[in-house]
Amino acid sequence: MEKVVILGSGPAGLTAALYSARAFLSPLVIEGPQSGGQLTTTTDVDNFPGFPKGITGPELIEQMREQVLRFGTRFEGRNVEKVSVKGNGIHIQCDDGEPIETMTLIVASGASARYLGLPSERALMGQGVSACATCDGFFFKEKEIVVVGGGDTALEEALFLTRFGRKVTVIHRRDVLRASKIMQERARANKKIEFLWNKDVIEVKDVSQGRVTGVRLRDSQDGSEIDYPCEGFFLGIGHTPNSRFLEGVVEMDSKGYIRTFGGSRTSVPGIFAAGDVQDPIYRQAITAAGSGCMASIDAERYLEGLSEH
Ligand code: NDP
């Protein structure tokens, strides 16, 4: 039986692995579908302490991983389907291979980009619809692009997309941005970025052509509708926690964020949570890393408690 299994390989999972490895707990990291997590799809990270000139998301993850490997962590590139608790052990079922039994589990599976849920949006996925500017921006050179949302994600995507697009329009359902002041200033100062306020996207066009040609917008104030042309449609409307495999096992809030009690402990002894999967508020690389450290220390103390009994 494993002592510590960590689900997820973003800053929370890698920091938990670093601490657990240095405590000689020989952690096993199940990397999940997106190795490195959301940081691998961001560009410049200017707010992670210790990098005065900034660092890119993928580089930061690479450096964390290198540091973790120094202390002998094992990595497996598998996806978890279901977790269940059996006596004092935790049973992890993956989509392939043998199940894993462990004494403690640190859930650091992060969160995934949200979509509006429109049928047209689903139909045009990969044909102009994307939730990852870093992955797909390149395909929209000199094109007109829209980004939906009013938070930091939307503005960061919009700013990044100005490297490629002729024009980037941020479509927001209200007339006040949720994004941080600095991001607002940067976006407003960029001549390629325009804003459309009080607009809900009700359809992505044009499914019959098999590619994005525009969006149908409804004004949230007066209900009027317009068509707005674009070739790229990017989502920046927040994230959903990746916690489905724990449904009915640990307590979660109505959105699926895992509830933690006094640090990283969940409602089930031996299961700990760190990073975006349990954090609807801060969601920063640095807070994720900090909570990964907490989870590792909590798991270590839990194991000490077991060995005393
Ligand atoms: P937020 O929840 O902050 O913002 C989501 C935005 O999308 C809001 O403006 C919201 O509108 C809008 N939205 C949500 N659902 C819909 C919908 N169905 N239709 C239309 N619009 C919708 O999420 P973010 O991902 O932007 O940010 C999350 C956290 O991550 C924040 O703490 C942020 O600071 C951080 N972050 C930091 C970055 C950085 O520092 N560089 C980069 C990216 C994220 P409304 O405002 O009306 O609710």
Integer Cα distance of 215 and 205 in angstroms:
5
170 has a pLDDT exceeding 80:
yes
CB-side neighbour CA atoms (13 Å) of 138: 3
Atom 7 of ligand 1, nearest CA residue: 237
pLDDT band for position 211 (cuts 50, 70, 90): very high
The minimum-distance atom of ligand 1 relative to the CA of 149 is: 7
Catalytic residues: 132, 135-136
Higher model confidence: residue 219 or residue 86? 219
| Per-residue model confidence (pLDDT) at position 248 | 96
In this chain, the answer to whether the domains covering 2-113+239-307 and 119-235 adopt an identical fold is yes
45 has a pLDDT exceeding 90:
no
Predicted structure pTM score: 0.80
Mutation probe of ligand 1 site: the residue of 43, 178, 279 with most atoms within 8 A of C-beta: 178
Higher model confidence: residue 300 or residue 40? 300
Integer Cα distance of 40 and 56 in angstroms:
8
Atom 28 of ligand 1, nearest CA residue: 238
Q: Comparing C-alpha atoms, which of 197, 151, 206, 205 is closest to residue 178?
A: 151
CA angle, residues 163, 169, 172, in degrees to nearest 5: 130
**What's the gap in Å between 174 CA and the centre of ligand 1?**
12
| Per-residue model confidence (pLDDT) at position 41 | 76
The minimum-distance atom of ligand 1 relative to the CA of 45 is: 41
Q: Comparing C-alpha atoms, which of 59, 215, 235 is closest to residue 158?
A: 235
Take residue 155 and report the two structure tokens written for it: 């503005």
| Per-residue model confidence (pLDDT) at position 88 | 80
Which protein residues touch ligand 1 with a CB less than 6 Å away? Answer: 47, 116, 148-154, 156, 173-174, 178, 180, 237-239, 283
CATH-assigned architecture of domain 2-113+239-307: 3-Layer(bba) Sandwich (3.50)
Atom 37 of ligand 1, nearest CA residue: 152
Q: What is the CATH superfamily name and number for domain 119-235?
A: FAD/NAD(P)-binding domain (3.50.50.60)
The minimum-distance atom of ligand 1 relative to the CA of 176 is: 46
For residue 7, give Cα distances in angstroms to 72, 140, 210, 211, 238: 17, 34, 37, 36, 22
Domain extents for the chain? 2-113+239-307, 119-235
Atom 43 of ligand 1, nearest CA residue: 153
| Per-residue model confidence (pLDDT) at position 38 | 85
